[in-house]
Amino acid sequence: MENGERRGSFGGNRSGAQGGKPAFGGNRAQNGERKPSFGGDKLLNHGEKTARGGERTQNRNEKPAFGGKTYAKPGTKPGFGGKQVGNRPYSGNGRPGARTVRPAGERPARVKPEQQEGLQSRRIALDVIRAVTEKDAYISLALDEKLHNCGLPLVDRRLAARLAYDTIENKLYLDWVLDQIMAKPDTDIKLRNVLRLGACQILLEDRIPESAACNTSVVLCKELGMEGLAGVCNGILRNLVRQKDELTFPDPQTEPVKALSIRHSVPEWLVEKLLADWGDGAMNLMSCRNHDSYITVRPNMTRMDDEAFEAFLTGKVWEHESGKVAHSWRIRNMAEIAHDVGFVGGQFSIQSESSMMAAMAVEPRRGMQILDCCAAPGGKSCLMAEMMGGSGRVQAWELHEHRTNLITAQVKRLGLENVRPMTRDASKPRPDLENTMDAVLLDAPCSGLGVMADKPDVKYRVTAESVAELVRLQSRLLDTVAPYVKRGGTLVYSTCSVLKDENVRQAEAFLARHPEFELVSLPESIPAEFRQHEGVGLQLLPDRDGVEGFYICRMRRKRV
């Protein structure tokens, strides 16, 4: 994982006035209060969450962007505000309030004036929630698509983002609550998602009147073609308002794992795994939320130095400050930064500080031959190529052609001549490459659980079985690519996970199998505040280090 964009790609940081979700069981000051998670007192508001861009390719069956148009395909729904024209895409203006064409059974309901305020934001939030839970979409991509050119004011865009993220982030908690209120918990998924959104507003959003949460949920229910269930929806949410102080939860003494699972909306198997790996520190990992909405950018080093980039940023309306890692800046109050002329023109890249450190661990130097084995979308490959001043060569491999195309697009945008994107299966040995590379970077496929604070849908996608399969794949990849490293060359292994099976145990097992390699310290280009935690590799923790959860291990092939 390497796209370092924090939630905020659609339009800025989250203000204290609108509030952020407090930690379970914490205290909170009066300024900017929000409702606590169950069983907790209120915490001082730390800010809102906003959209965060991801690196993975959007499912092509997902809904088009809000205000965008779609093909007239039976059974599909165009973006809200869009319309269908024959079987050709129609480009519209995305104005708020534009006519919506929906499939049969999904029609806009008649809305009373008192129900209109904030309804558009809730429509977008519900569309995103449905995309994630019904179509397995990635929340960051789904939200960015819905908000792009939607025409909504910034405050409404922030509301849509906050409601979508808070609902997905607290899905297990909200389901537990709803199951206590509903006579028939096993209900239609569309109604369940409307109820999740309504319950999120009632329980977690202090600045939203409970009546507005109920009324707008009824309207959304009708718009989804569930007029007959509108009364049921209204009754459930109003019962929740009346009974919210009587809700019960698992006893931490008798059911500690279940209690933590519901408290933090983390699947029980993952609670057990984190407790086994991190003990009391597991609670910090599960409760960590990215309230400080920013994205990290860095200059294209072949075009400008840090001083020039600082001047470039000063000319923008964005708030900016230096990051913890050299050549990094944290940006706030940005609006669709990926469409900025400077980004499109290759002046800078969006990349997390953790991802940058993985590339810096290779310690690229002029003229080196480097292999980046699982390179998409190309941020690390491009950073290493820039650090080499355009000399040498970085082979950037990806298994699937569409992901190789992402690397190609990055390389072209940045104007780099020393990166060679290739569609290659890194798990298949290439004897012709043995002893040819000065360095190999394996940023291996992983669970992605180091970025839960930014991408809450990750924790619901991963299973114990999928982690076990990933661990086997990581081991196989390490064994396959290690022979490509020259004697005296460098092998860097990294993941964006916090699970020890994927990280330190994986590195230890590799070193035991391959005595020709030895563990070496990370270079001084990585800040000392991080390197002080180095053991067998460096585990970056989001709650402790303030960056994405990442593991980086640097090894050297012995000369004899």
**What residues are annotated to the active site?**
496
d(CA 543, CA 286): 9
d(CA 403, CA 124): 28
Q: Which two tokens stand for residue 366?
A: 């002029």
Look at residue 500 and give its three-state secondary structure.
coil
d(CA 369, CA 418): 10
Q: Which residues lie closer than 8 Å to 228 by C-beta, 6 or more apart? A: none
Residue 332: in which H helix or E strand, if any? strand 329-332
How deeply is 222 buried, as exposed, middle or buried, from its count of CB atoms within 10 A (0-12, 13-18, 19+)?
Answer: buried
d(CA 331, CA 334): 7
d(CA 202, CA 242): 11
Kind of pairing between the strands at 295-299 and 393-398? unpaired
Q: Which two tokens stand for residue 297?
A: 């950018």
How deeply is 539 buried, as exposed, middle or buried, from its count of CB atoms within 10 A (0-12, 13-18, 19+)?
Answer: buried
Closest CA to 18 of 290, 213, 206: 206
How deeply is 82 buried, as exposed, middle or buried, from its count of CB atoms within 10 A (0-12, 13-18, 19+)?
Answer: buried
d(CA 354, CA 375): 15
Q: Which two tokens stand for residue 322?
A: 């230096």
d(CA 554, CA 536): 9
Alpha helices in 315-400 (DSSP H): 341-344, 353-360, 379-387
Q: Which value, to the nearest 10 degrees, does the dihedral of the CA atoms of residues 297, 303, 305, 308 take?
A: -80
Query: E strands along 275-316, which residues?
Result: 295-299
Burial 246-269 (b: 16+ CB within 10 A, else e): eeebbeeeeeebbbbbbbbbbeee
How deeply is 514 buried, as exposed, middle or buried, from its count of CB atoms within 10 A (0-12, 13-18, 19+)?
Answer: middle
d(CA 474, CA 368): 25
* Residue in the block written with tokens 């291996």: 444
Q: Enter the DSSP assignment of 55.
A: S
Q: Enter the DSSP assignment of 208.
A: S
Q: Which two tokens stand for residue 404?
A: 């190789």
